[in-house]
Amino acid sequence: MAEELSRKRRTHGGHRSTTTRIITSAIEVLASGDLSEIAKHMVKLNQQKASLQEKRTILLQLDMEILALVDEEEIGAKIEQADLVEENIQLAIANRSRLVIKCKHKRRCCESSRATKRASKHVDRRRSGESFRRSNREWFIASKGFRSK
């Protein structure tokens, strides 16, 4: 039983350290605050989210197994540690999701503004073409001696 508890604690510690590394890496990307920089790392952030969700499941399972094997005096401390890890994972996932939504919204706004700019350029070209044709016609009429009515 002592060996089993020791093995589960080491396994739990390894998963927890990996989780901490993933969270730290995500925080570095998200801390920049620059949405264009965050958008560049979107694939990495999606992969980190999936990894965190997987680690969360594994850690919850290990926590339950460890709680079944520890002495009653340690149960309160183990629950606190497990809750802190869970809270950090949920916070990292929530922050990532919030900024991803912001990036998508900004991208949509940028795309719509680009479309608006393209449409206005098209209208401006059409107007300039009309004025060019009109001035050409007026020049032709003036050069031939025709008078417009």
CA distance 11 to 13: 5
pLDDT digits (tens, 9 = 90+) for 9-23: 999 999 999 999 998
Does the pLDDT value for residue 130 go beyond 70? no
Token pair 């003036």 in the structure block, residue:
142
pLDDT tens-digit map of 61-88: 999 999 888 888 888 888 898 898 899 8
| Cβ within 8 Å of residue 53, ≥6 positions away | 93
DSSP string of 38-72? Answer: HHHTHHHHHHHHHHHHHHHHHHHHHHHHHHHHS-H
Range 2-117 has CATH code 1.10.3470: no
Of residues 34 and 98, more confidence is placed in 98
